[in-house]
Amino acid sequence: SEDAPNMNSVTKTAELNGLTKKAILTEGPELTKVHVRLDDKEQLRKRNRSSYTVHFTRDTGMHKVLTIDVTLSPRDPKAPGQFGHPAAVPDDKQEEAKSRWKEGNFNVYLSDLIPVDRAIDDTRPAGCSEQLVHNDLPTTTIIICFVDEVWSTLLRSVHSVLNRSPPHLIKEIILVDDFSTKEYLKDSLDKYMSQFPKVRLLHLKERHGLIRARLAGAEIAKGDVLTFLDSHVECNVGWLEPLLERVRLNRKKVACPVIEVISDKDMSYMTVDNFQRGIFTWPMNFGWRQIPPEVIEKDKIKETDIIRCPVMAGGLFSIDKKYFFELGTYDPGLDVWGGENMELSFKVWMCGGEIEIIPCSRVGHIFRNDNPYSFPKDRIKTVERNLARVAEVWLDEYKELFYGHGYHLIQKNLDVGDLTQQIELRKKLKCKNFKWYLENIYPDLEAPLVKASGLIVNIAMARCITVENSTLTFETCNISNKNQKFNYTWLRLIKHGDFCVAPVDAKRTLGLYPCDNRNNSLKWLHKSLVAFQPELMDHMVLEHLQQPTCLEVDQSHKILRVNACDASNPYQKWQFGNYYAD
Ligand code: LR7
Ligand code: MN
């Protein structure tokens, strides 16, 4: 530490630990005392640097985000892909590039061609480099799990962390090898990483899937904060401190960087639109949604402002380690891939935390069209089962929307496994319910508990289905008649109270049965595609039968019954009083 000169900008040279350091000091005249912190000596010596940046911090306990980036003047500025520019496959290598695509479902040939420590553009919004962060930020353990990741891509991920993070904040980098089959990810990787004292490798003895692989990393982590990353990323300048700053501010904040795009085709690093929130649509599909321009204008939202998200993308975030364990980590019953981002997001919000995107933190990620690794079991079934576990534990009565939008799910009688511990955990943490989450965190999601409701009118006769002494009749419609009110649920039941409309056994007339979500003989398709027959949209089709069978009113007797579907028969066409948006 030394006294700062009383002027705006000055170049200082200092002799420390046998190295000469040069620093440009550009603080204002009010600066009286500064602390000097050194870049990672070892790193720099390895790179044969002659000049070093010394970081001066004020005594306010805060400093500007350190723009540490030893790649800024790259060893080979002319290398392909340098500065995040697109790279091109030479004409005589097209075949090779094509054949190597499937190794990672992106342009593996180009990834191998471009430097593992290439420079990329600093894509942070203006103002980020001026932001202050605390001197006493918590340390973090970086956890990267992978299965059969492409060598150069994995290395680039690790180098980007080492090169663009303040070394004193990185406790360690834990690479969790989720039982990869590729030889180079064993001894060669161990050997390569042994040059970085902070990198630890954990080779799992069987395939755990990304959820349990991350947990294996978290178990041995020594840092205060856990920072999870995918194994095909490039962390940008100043990415880490803004994340840790949020966690320091409130340990229940889960901080996510803006995820930028590394092109799967030409490996270029591309920035993304600002003001994106992480959201989901039914049946729990993750997506991005832009904050509407009028909201941005009205609320005067700036590019650097933090964005609260209903859900996170899943792969890239920082979370206080103790808090992560208090929350019961991930549900370890989730397999391979998928759903864990929903689970953690609901858990965090409903149990007192927050999920944020920090625009001053940016990390590139290679988006691929398909997983480049195998699933031990069927891919779709695995993801559906994971999501169903999340729905059963966190969605309360709204789980019907989830099942209803992927209604084939419940018909398969999906075995979601034991959920007692997860349900206990939710009780123990005294988490709020899903209704609260919807109203407070994600009010713009359409989540009506029923799909349609009110009178059920026959289009030909303009009369309505009516309950009379627990049987069904067909009467003149009367909007205030409670006996004509029904709910059509996401699980395709036509409900009157706790009773459901269905044909009386064997006969073709209709009656009321106690409702049961899993009983397929109570389910009617309506306003949805039936066996690819769009002309049956207005019909009520029993879906458990081989031949489409439809609800109709007998013209002469005015009796309700089921009959073979006939698209042109108006006595089979029905309309509910109200329909709710999907
Ligand atoms: O069995 C596995 N074992 C693993 O170790 C399967 C995967 N993995 C590793 C894999 O090598 C990778 O590093 O886990 C990581 C994530 O797998 P990806 O890259 O195949 O997933 P993704 O990028 O397609 O999917 C997103 O959703 C996943 C749901 O389970 C995870 O949350 C991913 O981390 C997540 N990625 C991101 O959030 C990055 C941005 C994508 C978006 C939107
Ligand atoms: Mn990924």
| pLDDT tens-digit readout, 387-438 | 999 999 999 999 999 999 987 777 677 899 999 999 999 999 999 999 999 9
Which tens digits make up the pLDDT trace of 166-225? 999 999 999 999 999 999 999 999 999 999 999 999 999 999 999 999 999 999 999 999
| Position 240 pLDDT exceeds 90 | yes
At 287, list the tokens: 């997506």
Give the containing element (helix H, strand E) for 293.
Answer: helix 293-298
Q: Is the CB of 230 under 6 A from ligand 1?
A: yes
| 54 in Cβ contact with 26 (< 8 Å) | no
Q: Is the CB of 264 under 6 A from ligand 1?
A: no
User: Cα separation of 464 and 469, whole Å?
Assistant: 16
Tell me: cis bond preceding 503? Omega within 30 of 0 counts: no
Share of the chain above pLDDT 70, in %: 89
Which tens digits make up the pLDDT trace of 472-528? 999 999 999 999 999 999 999 999 999 999 998 777 889 999 999 988 889 999 998
Q: Which ligand is nearest to the CA of 341?
A: 1
In angstroms, what is the span from residue 367 Cα to ligand 2's centroid?
Answer: 6
Q: How confident is the model at residue 6 (pLDDT cuts 50, 70, 90)?
A: very low
Q: Which of 210, 232, 276, 382 to mutate to test the pocket of ligand 1 (most atoms within 8 A of CB)?
A: 210
Residue 167: how many CB atoms within 10 A of its CB?
Answer: 15
| Position 279 pLDDT exceeds 60 | yes
Q: How confident is the model at residue 36 (pLDDT cuts 50, 70, 90)?
A: very low
Q: Which of 230, 260, 331 to mutate to test the pocket of ligand 1 (most atoms within 8 A of CB)?
A: 230
Average pLDDT of the chain is 90
First to last CA, the chain: 62
Total residues belonging to the chain: 582
At 499, list the tokens: 């009773």
Give the containing element (helix H, strand E) for 297.
Answer: helix 293-298
User: Cα separation of 225 and 218, whole Å?
Assistant: 10
| 152 in Cβ contact with 80 (< 8 Å) | no
User: Cα separation of 529 and 13, whole Å?
Assistant: 74
In angstroms, what is the span from residue 194 Cα to ligand 2's centroid?
Answer: 25
Q: CB under 8 Å to 431, separation ≥6 — which residues? A: 347, 350, 351, 352
Taking the CA of residue 375 as reference, the ligand 1 atom at the shortest distance is 1
Average pLDDT over residues 306-329: 98
- pLDDT at residue 407, as a whole number: 73
Q: Which ligand is nearest to the CA of 343?
A: 1
- pLDDT at residue 12, as a whole number: 59
- pLDDT at residue 226, as a whole number: 99
| 434 in Cβ contact with 394 (< 8 Å) | yes
Residue nearest atom 42 in ligand 1 by C-alpha distance: 313
Residue nearest atom 39 in ligand 1 by C-alpha distance: 315
Q: CB under 8 Å to 502, separation ≥6 — which residues? A: 510, 511, 512, 513, 521, 522
Q: Which of 233, 337, 345 to mutate to test the pocket of ligand 1 (most atoms within 8 A of CB)?
A: 337
Q: Is the CB of 314 under 6 A from ligand 1?
A: yes
- HEC string of 151-188 equals HHHHHHHHHHHHHHCCHHHEEEEEEEECCCCCHHHCHH
Which tens digits make up the pLDDT trace of 68-94? 777 777 888 999 999 999 999 999 999
CA distances from 307 to 303, 304, 359 (A): 10, 9, 8
- pLDDT at residue 56, as a whole number: 53
Chain-centroid distance, C-alpha 184: 30
| Position 15 pLDDT exceeds 60 | no
- pLDDT at residue 531, as a whole number: 67
At 54, list the tokens: 């010394």
Amino acid (1-letter code) at residue 344 = L
Q: Is the CB of 146 under 6 A from ligand 1?
A: yes
Q: How confident is the model at residue 35 (pLDDT cuts 50, 70, 90)?
A: very low
Q: What angle do CA 443, 447, 452 make, to 5 degrees?
A: 140
In angstroms, what is the span from residue 217 Cα to ligand 1's centroid?
Answer: 15
Q: Is the CB of 145 under 6 A from ligand 1?
A: yes
Q: Which ligand is nearest to the CA of 370?
A: 1
| Position 335 pLDDT exceeds 60 | yes
Angle between helices 340-350 and 379-394 (to 10 degrees): 10
Q: Is the CB of 174 under 6 A from ligand 1?
A: no
Residue 537: how many CB atoms within 10 A of its CB?
Answer: 15
Q: CB under 8 Å to 518, separation ≥6 — which residues? A: 410, 413
Question: b/e string for 37-69 if b means 16 or more Cβ within 10 A?
Answer: bbbbeeebeeeeeeebbbbbbbeeeebbbbebb
Task: Compute φ and ψ for 167, nearest 5 degrees.
Answer: -55, -35
